């Protein structure tokens, strides 16, 4: 296992990715089987860290998300009239609350 220390010039994400890949390779070389589970904090829970680890098997990453993190998904398909009605109703309610 790598114990390489970070310097001021070291990129933390690149070093973390390198260490996880090296650990997975060492486990495969020694014949260890089973899932390698890596726990990371919110700083590393980004696509820059998780993306390169997709190809490393068998590795699972458990990441903690920051409390202000927003997860985006695909928007729902437009269903027509009902969506327009709900937007108009919401606009009307907002107007009434503002006293207009």
Q: What is the pTM of this model?
A: 0.58
Q: Note the pLDDT tens digit of each residue in 6-28.
A: 888 888 888 888 888 998 999 88
**Beta-strand relationship, 36-40 and 59-63:** parallel
Q: CB neighbours (10 Å) of residue 36?
A: 16
**Paired tokens of 81:** 């009239």
Mean confidence (pLDDT) of the chain: 77
Largest CA distance in the chain: 73
pLDDT of residue 99: 58
pLDDT greater than 70 at residue 84: no
Question: Per-residue pLDDT averaged across 82-97, rounded?
Answer: 62
Q: CB neighbours (10 Å) of residue 8?
A: 4
Domain layout of the chain by residue ranges? 12-97
């Amino acid at each position: 296992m790598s114990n390489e220390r970070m310097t001021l010039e070291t990129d933390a994400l690149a070093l973390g990715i390198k260490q996880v890949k090296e650990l997975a390779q060492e486990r495969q070389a020694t014949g260890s089987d089973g899932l390698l589970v890596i726990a990371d904090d919110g700083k590393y829970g980004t696509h820059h860290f998780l993306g390169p680890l997709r190809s490393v098997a068998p590795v699972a990453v458990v990441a903690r998300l920051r409390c202000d993190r927003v997860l985006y998904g695909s928007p729902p398909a437009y269903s027509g009239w009902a969506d327009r009605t709900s937007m108009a109703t919401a606009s009307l309610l907002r107007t009434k609350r503002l006293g207009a």
